[in-house]
Structure 1
Amino acid sequence: MAFGTTWRVQNTDPAKPFEGSLTVLDYKQGFTSVGKASEEAGEPGYVWAYADLKLCGTRGSYTDNTTSWTLYYGDGGRINPSSSTYSDFPKPEFPFEVTVTAGKCARGKLAFAVPGTERPESVLYQPDGLDEPREWIVPKA
């Protein structure tokens, strides 16, 4: 999917029905922070990047967290979101754990420490219970 394309989320579990939408709005690589991305990654040459995400509910409630998200690279590598949060990270930050209900949304930027000379191919979403990840293609720089 292209950035801005909405994926309709639907949980068919009758015990906890949910309908909503999920969108990746943007990706930016190379923002600066007081914390160094290369220190978090344990490798030189890493920089900070973020994906701008939006999760909305239309029926029921749904709880998710940042571990559902990864960046996918052409060589098969995947990078998980940063476990750090610094006061100067781009705002609003996507919540580590969030519950959305009908008519409510959560939007924010999720930070990643990434190789500075490479760009991911896509942003992947795969929460527990979803067999195949949903994928948004990262535009060329």
Structure 2
Amino acid sequence: MHTRTITAATIAAAFMLTLTACSSDNGATVTKSDSKPESATTTSSTAPEPKQQTTFTMGETADINDRPNDITFSAAVIAYAQPVKGPQPPGDELGGDVWATAEIKVCNTGAMTFTVSQFPWSLAYEDGTRVEVTGLNGGDLPKPEFPTDDVSVKPDRCVRGKIPFPVQSSARPQYIVYAPDAIDEPLEWAVPAA
């Protein structure tokens, strides 16, 4: 009976160790693409994990590695403009009196095709307010437009375009936020002062 207890305990411990080892590798990693590797100061035989970065300046590129789905890609906010010429002002029903655009570029740096759309992008204000995309496209909206529907991005290809946001002319967002399902913590690009 004592041997059964030890064997059962050993099997349970091995099972828990396997679960712990598997769960430590979940999630995506995010790094800045122009970051230089730090020199190793430890005597460990394994390299340290790259530091997760979630805040970027306009024009910087975030490299994203979605390990569970074997997808690697980059995202960048190239420019922000407010106000922009376009169709009639958005109006009260959309919550803004002028249009603003964020120019976005997402590139597939891996071997798996994935899809992109406007919907993971939003504007964040200092007071906590968020402005989501409207889903509008076509007409007089600023060109080129970033896709509103899911568009496939093959390996070594990019998608670039402008996303329109209905905003109040009296306020400027603090960040452009990117929150795709592949990452745990949203990425933010600081919006420069006007």
TM over 0.5: yes
**1:46 and 2:87 are equivalent in the alignment:** no
Secondary structure of the 2:119 match is helix
Gaps of at least 5 residues in structure 2 are: 1-55
| Aligned match of 1:121 | 174
Displacement of 1:40 = 4.1
1:73 aligned residue: 125
Aligned equivalent of 2:61? 6
1:89 matched to which residue of 2? 141
Identify if the C-alpha distance between structure 1 residues 55 and 129 changes in structure 2 by more than 3 Å, giving closer, same or farther.
closer
| Alpha-carbon offset, residue 129 of structure 1 | 4.3
User: Which ranges in structure 1 are unaligned for 5 or more consecutive residues?
Assistant: none
Percent identity for Structure 1 against Structure 2: 36
Shift of 1:20: 1.5
Tell me the TM-score normalised to structure 2 length: 0.66
Distance in 2 of aligned mates of 1:23 and 1:75: 24
Q: Secondary structure at the match of 1:66?
A: coil
**Which deviates the most, 78-87 or 131-140?**
78-87
Q: Which runs of 4+ in 1 moved over 3 A?
A: none
Q: Which has the higher helix share?
A: 2
Aligned residues: 137
- Tell me how far apart the structure 2 counterparts of residues 19 and 83 of structure 1 sit (CA, whole Å): 26
Higher RCO, Cα 8 Å, sep 6+: 1
Please give the per-residue CA displacement for 1:106-129, whole angstroms capped at 9, x wherever unaligned.
000000000111000000000124
| Map of 1:104 onto structure 2 | 157
Bigger-Rg structure (1/2): 2
Change (3 A) 1:83 1:40: farther
Matched position secondary structure for 1:140: coil
Instruction: Name the CA shift for 1:2/1:61 in 2 (closer, same or farther; >3 Å).
Output: same
Pick aligned residue for 2:187 from 122, 134, 137: 134
Q: Which amino acid aligns with 1:64?
A: V
8 Å Cα contact 2:59-2:77 kept in structure 1: yes
Q: d(CA) in 1 for partners of 2:84 and 2:93?
A: 15
Structure with the higher strand share, 1 or 2: 1
2:66 touches 2:182 (CA, 8 Å); kept in 1?
A: no
Shift of 1:86: 3.9
Q: CA deviation at 1:36?
A: 2.4
Distance, in Å, in 2 between the alignment partners of 1:137 and 1:103 is 27
Measure, in 1, the Cα distance between the counterparts of 2:160 and 2:93: 24
